[in-house]
Structure 1
Amino acid sequence: MDITKISPRPPGLAGALRARKSVDAIVARNDQEPGHGLKRSMGLVHLTALSIGASLGTGIFVILGEATPKAGPAVVLAFVLAAFTALFSALSYAELAGSIPVSGSSYSYTYATMGELFAWICGWCLMLEYGVSVAAVAVGWGEYINELLHGMFGIALPAAISESPGAGGIVNVPAIVIVLVAVVLLTRGASESALVNTVMVALKILVLVFFCAVAFTAFRAGNFAPFIPLGAAGVTAAASQVFFAYIGFDAASTAGDEAKNAKRDLPRAIILSLLIVTILYCLVAIAAVGAMPWQDIAGEGAALATILNAATTSTWPAIFLSAGAVIAIASVVLAVMYGQTRILYAMSLDGLVPRIFSRVNRRTRVPVVNIVVVGGIVSALAGFVPLGELADATSIGSLFAFMLVNIAVIILRRRHPDLHRSFRTPLFPLMPVLGVVFCALLLFGLGVSTWVAFALWMAVGLAIYFAYGVRKSELRSRPEEVEAR
């Protein structure tokens, strides 16, 4: 590979843009010190469950009632359209995961194709996406705990210990508890937390299958007529909303350094998880509309539980579903926190954040300090900050990262046409180009407040990069790892 040396002096903006790490250097980093890096212990089932666990959570349990008013019975088509949109980026992720199988996900892919500055921007976007979203999900878990307690025992936790100060409480204890449980599981080891996540994913799939089975007993074909009462514009609007229920399929790409056969299994896990999630979403949507007229579903925050109450004369199915929602959200917290710690691990290996975040425990072979610090920050956000519209900013981080991944596929194909790829995006370059276009369209559809929050976040990130990352980057002391332009 053509390698060039660079000056060890910290470069300015132009130098940061030119500093592109070689693919070989990125792939070799975790395995340079046998026994000190992450342990390869995850197979295809665990990797697929990781992606399903990160995406199959609060979305399907609440989003149906929000999207149905926009599309009517055609909300089923909205899920298909959203899946098709996600597929473009999923194919790009699959190719890059099979070509650069490391824990950094889109951060590492961007480092190898666009340079260090864009890699930092991508990694910083992922920190926003993962950190704020997992805090918001933890808050949602506390709300479902209250619903479950009310359904089973007719009681609820006092607002003082189940809401943040800005929402009328003192501290959201359930949200903090679920984050701390995830911290404990993650510090025990990758294989242990992967096993727990796989079990929880299996349980929540079972719960959704149960919902479909019960709802289909009250199925009425007439509920689907007319099928598209609000026109194609309604379907498109609903698809934009339900798209965010698919975010998380890329979680497997954060496990590149812990996969037993990363080149083979990472692309399969990404595509397989998207397929499974899409089938489940479409089945749930068909069963829901078939069991209840779409006008009655509209506006229902807990649409699935309401449908089960209407379809049966008993309350236990809805209680069972609420229990499933608790499990579903818990697995999202676990899977997303896992992904965030591994991306931070990769950034630390590159010197862009302090080295302590890549320090691995000799016994468990996981970055314990990394996990504890991330858990502390996330639990503080979940327990004391009313997230509100800030949670919407997670979508902008996801879409920006997706767009960069689609661009990275095109660049890597051009610069390294002979690189071994265990999966190749079909219809290249059409698919990644469409991925960029669709992500851009969704980005420009976000609200002004979301863009303001994103701009502030990026300003902080760039300040940290130029104050710390530029000076401490490993590429300043490892010029042999820099790839020539």
Structure 2
Amino acid sequence: MNEKVDFHFYAQKDKSLEKTLTVKDFLALGLGTILSTSIFTLPGIVAANYTGPSVVISFIVAAIVAGLVAMNYAEMASSLPFAGSAYSWISVVFGKFWGWIVGWALLAEYLIAVAFVAAGLSSNVQGLISPFGLKLPNSLAFPLGTNGGVVDIIAVIIVAIVTFILFLGDDKSSKVANLLVALKLIAIIVFIVVGATAIKAQNYVPFIPKPHLNANGTTFGGWGGIYAGVSTIFLSYIGFDSIASNSAEAKNPQKTMPRGIIGSLIIGTIFFILVSLVLVGMFKYTNYANNAEPVGWALRQQGHVITATVVQAIAVLGMFTALIAMMMAGSRLIYSFGRDKMLPKQVGKLNKNHLPSVALWIITIVGIVMGGIFPFTFLAQLISSGTLIAFMFVSLAMYPLRKREGKDLPMAPFRAPFYPVFPALGFLGSLAIFWGLDIEAKTYSVVWFIIGVIIYFVYGIKHSHAPIPDEKDAETEQEVK
């Protein structure tokens, strides 16, 4: 029921995927995801709802936990460079059942993240065109049940555009991503430089507000507020996971994966800290409550209307990189399910351009439905849970991985430092953040996992198998249509 998958099985199955991605491409994918909708939205929202100016501390704590896990991801990816990242790794190390549980958690992350980024991008587009007197009717501007909305049409169009880019192939889509990341970094730097001129020291006082309960019962201020902030913003650091999902398409993955994973996390953290400091310094944090585009709003309120327009225009383009990265990663995970027959085998087929076309269509359709219908704040609450579950499993998997490296598994060229302490700290840190998620996020996570377990026992366990490396099974070999 829970047999471990042979390393060579995945190596053979993924050989048809083209090896085109370099360190530069992975840095672009990682930064494109980390510095996505989150950096233009969450610093203001979290400051208003939980932390006040100490939102900076929340980002630092979240980055430390993410950094501990990133070390584990880097070693895993350099030893086991397979599509599906944690799903495939756990299947090799712990067995197919636990691999499916982790993969199912990651699938929730990617599906919701695509919708979340599309919804946030839509809010910024609407903020960008509003100074010109352009306004969509509420029925097309908001998701179902919000301000009279029926469907967020901009979110739907955005997901469709990204799908078109991805069907051009990894090489072309990564070039687009690299260009857009460069533009987005310019937009962030412009905001930091211009916004820094409007900082007022009194907006940082008190840096850690006195704790009290919000109207909805959540904690604001004090270390409890900082802890709540960490759980909310942890979704900002999921970029390195999307890198790992594409490791089967990396050139020299033993070097490119660790550099891409760790490099994108370090650079992303620096920018999050700077943007948070500038944003809460420009205006008192209470001004950012329920504001889905605080960066553009803050610049406009300071009289920098043209700068705000330019920054938001570039930011909107740059946010496409997050969608490219998340949809690439999500489609590779879904492809992996089909590859292993955990889902129908057609899901794991490649088209004539060596792309997982069926998996791409699946994530496109789900992203369009969720991004167009579900509210932005609702989506934000649900992303972190799947990520954190995967992080805990990967941290624990470091121990059996080390025992098998150089024996029945390849020796990882990158070795996570301070073993065995760091993997334990990565697990405990992820568990602590997961515990801090609100009850709604935990409840939906339980429902999602019940569905996943049912699928495994009804379909996956009957159809999947892990043949020996030289087994000739036409149904399980990668086919090019």
Q: Provide TM-score, normalisation by structure 1.
A: 0.88
Partner of 1:322, secondary structure, is: helix
- Give the Å deviation of 1:161: 2.3
Q: Structure 2: which 5+ residue stretches go unaligned?
A: 211-221, 472-481
CA deviations over 1:98-122 (Å, ceiling 9, x no partner): 1101111100110111100001111
* 1:399 corresponding residue in structure 2: 388
Q: Sort the Cα spacing of 1:137 and 1:458 in 2 relative to 1 into closer, same or farther, 3 A.
A: same
Counterpart amino acid of 1:309? R
Alpha-carbon contact 1:390-1:450 (below 8 Å) kept:
no
Measured after TM superposition, the shift of residue 187 of structure 1 is 1.0
- Partner of residue 320, structure 1: 310
> What is the one-letter code of the residue matched to 2:53?
P
**Equivalent residue, structure 2, for 1:30:** 14
Q: 1:178 maps to what in 2? A: 158
Q: Specify the code of the residue in structure 2 equivalent to 1:326.
A: V
Q: Which stretch of structure 1 is more off in the superposition, 278-287 or 65-74? A: 65-74
2:77 aligned to 85, 88, 97, which one? 97
CA distance in 1, matches of 2:373, 2:292: 24
Query: How big is each residue's C-alpha offset from its partner over 1:379-426, in whole Å with a ceiling of 9 and x where there is no partner?
Result: 122234557635522221111011111111122112336541121111
Structure 2 distance, partners of 1:172, 1:227, is 37
Residues of 2 paired with 1:328 and 1:175: CA distance?
Answer: 15
1:191 corresponds to 2:166 = no
Per the alignment, in what secondary structure is the counterpart of residue 188 of structure 1?
A: coil
Aligned to 2:213: none
In the TM superposition, 1:25-424 aligns within 5 A as 25-31=9-15, 37-69=16-48, 70-151=50-131, 153-167=132-146, 168-221=148-201, 223-230=203-210, 231-294=222-285, 300-311=291-302, 313-362=303-352, 364-385=353-374, 389=378, 391-416=380-405, 419-424=410-415
Q: 1:467 to 1:330 in 2, by over 3 A?
A: same
* Residues 124, 293 of structure 2: 8 Å contact kept: no
In structure 1, list runs of 5 or more residues that go unmatched. Answer: 1-15, 32-36
Alpha-carbon shift at residue 222 of structure 1 (Å): 5.5
Q: For residues 297 and 376 of structure 1, do their structure 2 counterparts lie closer, same or farther at Cα, with a shift above 3 Å needed?
A: closer
Letter in 1 for 2:5: K
> Equivalents in 2 of 1:275, 1:451: separation in Å?
29
Residues in 2 aligned to 1:114 and 1:20: alpha-carbon distance in whole angstroms: 6
Work out whether residues 227 and 436 of structure 2, in 8 Å CA contact, stay in contact via their aligned partners in 1. Answer: no
Partner of 1:5: none
CA distance in 2, matches of 1:237, 1:381: 25
- The 1:450–1:241 alpha-carbon spacing in structure 2 relative to 1, beyond 3 Å, is closer
Aligned counterparts of 2:330 and 2:406: Cα–Cα separation in 1: 31
Residues 57-90 of structure 1: per-residue CA shift (max 9 Å, x gap): 1211111222224444333222211111111111
What's the % identity of the aligned pairs?
Answer: 32
The C-alpha deviation readout for 1:280-304, integer Å capped at 9, x for no partner, is 1111123234444556556654332
Structure 2 length-normalised TM: 0.88
Deviation at 1:227, TM superposition (A): 4.0
CA distance in 2 between counterparts of 1:112 and 1:122 reads 12
Q: Return the offset for 1:341.
A: 0.5
Aligned counterpart, 2:5: 21
CA contact (8 A) 2:129 2:135 kept: yes
Looking at structure 1, the residues matched to 417 and 76 of structure 2 have their Cα atoms a distance apart, in angstroms, of 13
Q: Please report the RMSD computed on the Cα atoms of aligned residues, expressed in angstroms.
A: 2.3
Residue 405 of structure 2 is aligned to residue 426 of structure 1 = no
Distance 1:387 1:144, change over 3 A: closer
Deviation, structure 1 residue 234: 4.0
- Aligned partner letter, 2:240: F
Quote the residue 1:462 is aligned against: 453
Deviates more, 1:287-296 or 1:407-416: 287-296
| Conserved 8 A contact 1:58-1:328 | no
Give the secondary structure class of the aligned counterpart of 2:124: helix
Residues 448 and 237 of structure 1: is their aligned pair in 2 closer, same or farther, counting only changes over 3 Å?
closer
Listed one character per residue, the Cα deviations across residues 322-381 of structure 1 (whole Å, up to 9, x for unaligned) are 22332233222221111000111222221212222222122x221122212321222122
Deviations 1:163-214 (A, max 9, x none): 3343323332211111111111111101111111111111111100000110
Change (3 A) 1:234 1:148: same
Q: Secondary structure at the match of 1:145?
A: helix
Q: Which moved more, 1:238-247 or 1:187-196?
A: 238-247
Q: 2:430 aligns with which of 417, 423, 439?
A: 439
Indicate if the aligned counterparts of 2:59 and 2:233 stay in contact, CA closer than 8 A: yes
Give 1:221 shift: 4.8
